[in-house]
Structure 1
Amino acid sequence: MNDSHPIEDRNFDDLAERFAKNIYGTKKGRIRLALLGEDLVSHIPELYAGERSLSILDAGCGMAQMGCDLAGRGHRIHFCDISMRMLELAEGVAEAAQVSGQCAFHHGRFQTFVEEKGGAYDLILFHAVLEWLVEPKASLETLVSALAPGGTLSLMFYNVNCIIHRNAILGNFRKVMSGEYGGYSRSFTPINPLDPLEVESWVADMGLSVIQKTGIRVFTEYMKKDLLKSRNYEDTLEVERAHCRKEPFASMGRYVHLLCRKGE
């Protein structure tokens, strides 16, 4: 069997510590969280108004930083992850933030959790998960079924355009022309990097309207490591922020964030 094409959704038990260090604990990780947070602030003001508690599902929660921040604002958060190790790290983040009382942690596939528990969530966070699934569209449909009428889906996924662009400018033409863009075992490149236009068509077919499209790391993903390191975080974020929500840049980031609203 070719392990670059697993028959099961990716479980990150074996990569949890590397993710914590290389994804969340970097300048790139800070930029990612900052831009996601700005989208939520701009389009879901009730998250931060403190007027009522919302019901939120963080599906494939990872270390749950954003969900724990929202729990600290009085919202009730359900965290679900197939990786027990990632869920343990998330519980640690919740304890450190003193928000454990607002959180419930569920180990297992989010698809199974939704099918068994149902629910009508005001907000579903689905960040950097879709591209690791064997059946991304069907899994997304299952998740959307748990979204309340008028609710919001925060969907961030790994952008195949970024893989093509990066490999082309590095001269990896064979990779570009092969059409095979999935990663290998223990790689941070996902099994199903996605085309933003295709995902946008999916969510439209599911009765969702896109209210914000944002490219996450539209410039920093292409910068040399030494150059990126030499630039301070504030300036880097400012440049990203100035361009990430307009085309063509919104479709060129490492990730694309679609903030989607379900019809009433």
Structure 2
Amino acid sequence: MTVIEPTFSAHGDRHFDGMADKFANSLYAKRRGALRLALLERLLPEMLALRSQPALDVGGGLGQLSGWLARRGHPVTLCEPARDMLERAGAALADTDVALRALPLQALPEQAPGPWPLVTCHAVLEWMADPRAALATLAGLLAPDGQLSLMVFNHDALRFSNVLKGNLERVMDDRLAGLGKGKRLTPISPVRHAEVMRWAEESGLRVTHHAGIRVFDDYLQQPVETAGMDERLLELEWRYCRDEPYWRLGRYLLYTLVPARDEDDDR
């Protein structure tokens, strides 16, 4: 049996070298991964002004989002530090307009500075040692009229799911973040909505849209694992993913952020 040891960058970020198969088989081949992708395909055209503009996909992993953007006419640059993930993405995206670069987020201001009209960063900040600084870096890559699609692992959802599982001491002690060890993929830096709002303001960004991804699925007491998508569950998720209070309990929180403008600029 091959044991995959966690890989951490010099900055303390968790990378996923050697884990392409695990992501493909344990996440995207399961209902939860299919549900996540199906919701994004519906939400992103509503939350973003998509005009086939160049896009930077930060931490693009296996390339699903890059491929979706490329098929809609966007020239995409996919940046991913894990080599085997990048190789798997390259094989899947061979016939698309996607450029692959083996870059961590911290290298982007020098290696891919833009400015970019569209930046996507999904399920990355929660694996950073300093997600606040990471968001500031992303803000610096945006064009003045650019858009950032940000998806983060929700700290409040992690707390709620641990209560449902009976992990009461862990919740009371706020020992929810993962250590980046073993096979479990509990993020090292789960993010709160209030933190996103505060960090966005600090970085000169404002939120224009928000939604929750998997607001019900992760809380099912008797989950029924299916080979494909459960269309009833998908429709329930779609119906409530933008509504209070449900969106705030999504396993992931999805935001569109744009550079903030002075009030005088809106007159």
TM-score after normalising by structure 1: 0.89
Structure with a larger share of its residues in helix: 1
User: In the aligned structure 1, how far is the partner of 2:174 from the partner of 2:208?
Assistant: 31
Task: Assess, with a 3 A threshold, how the Cα gap between structure 1 residues 249 and 152 changes in structure 2: closer, same or farther.
Answer: same
Contact 1:111 1:143 in 2 (8 A): no
User: In the aligned structure 2, how far is the partner of 1:5 from the partner of 1:87?
Assistant: 15
Question: 1:20 aligned to 13, 20, 24, which one?
Answer: 24
Per the alignment, residue 93 of structure 1 pairs with 92
Question: 1:207 aligned to 204, 207, 214, which one?
Answer: 204
Secondary structure of 1:140's aligned partner: helix
Contact 1:5 1:191 in 2 (8 A): no
Per the alignment, residue 131 of structure 1 pairs with 126
| CA deviation map 1:187-234 (0-9, x unaligned) | 211101111111122112222221211111010011146435499621
Task: Assess, with a 3 A threshold, how the Cα gap between structure 1 residues 139 and 173 changes in structure 2: closer, same or farther.
Answer: same
Q: Which moved more, 1:56-65 or 1:104-113?
A: 104-113
Task: Assess, with a 3 A threshold, how the Cα gap between structure 1 residues 5 and 230 changes in structure 2: closer, same or farther.
Answer: closer
Q: For residue 33 of structure 1, report the CA deviation from its aligned partner.
A: 1.4
Per the alignment, residue 50 of structure 1 pairs with none
Unaligned stretches of 5+ residues in structure 1: 48-52
| CA deviation map 1:56-103 (0-9, x unaligned) | 0000001111211211222111110110011111111202xx21xx11
Per the alignment, residue 30 of structure 1 pairs with 34
Secondary structure of 1:168's aligned partner: helix
Q: Map of 1:175-194 to 2, 5 A cutoff?
A: 175-184=170-179, 185-186=181-182, 187-194=184-191
Contact 2:109 2:137 in 1 (8 A): yes
Question: 1:41 aligned to 36, 42, 45, which one?
Answer: 45
Contact 2:126 2:191 in 1 (8 A): yes
Q: What is the total number of aligned residue pairs between the two structures? A: 253
Q: For residue 108 of structure 1, report the CA deviation from its aligned partner.
A: 2.3
Task: Assess, with a 3 A threshold, how the Cα gap between structure 1 residues 43 and 172 changes in structure 2: closer, same or farther.
Answer: closer
Question: 1:161 aligned to 156, 167, 179, which one?
Answer: 156
User: In the aligned structure 2, how far is the partner of 1:232 from the partner of 1:108?
Assistant: 33
User: In the aligned structure 2, how far is the partner of 1:68 from the partner of 1:233?
Assistant: 23
2:186 alignment partner AA:
T
1:214 alignment partner AA:
A
Identity among equivalent positions (%) equals 35
Task: Assess, with a 3 A threshold, how the Cα gap between structure 1 residues 92 and 175 changes in structure 2: closer, same or farther.
Answer: same
Per the alignment, residue 135 of structure 2 pairs with 140
TM-score after normalising by structure 2: 0.88
Per the alignment, residue 110 of structure 2 pairs with 115
User: In the aligned structure 2, how far is the partner of 1:249 from the partner of 1:117?
Assistant: 36
User: In the aligned structure 2, how far is the partner of 1:83 from the partner of 1:225?
Assistant: 35
Question: 1:256 aligned to 237, 253, 257, which one?
Answer: 253
2:60 alignment partner AA:
C
1:69 alignment partner AA:
W
Per the alignment, residue 151 of structure 1 pairs with 146
1:143 alignment partner AA:
L
Secondary structure of 1:32's aligned partner: helix
Unaligned stretches of 5+ residues in structure 2: 262-267
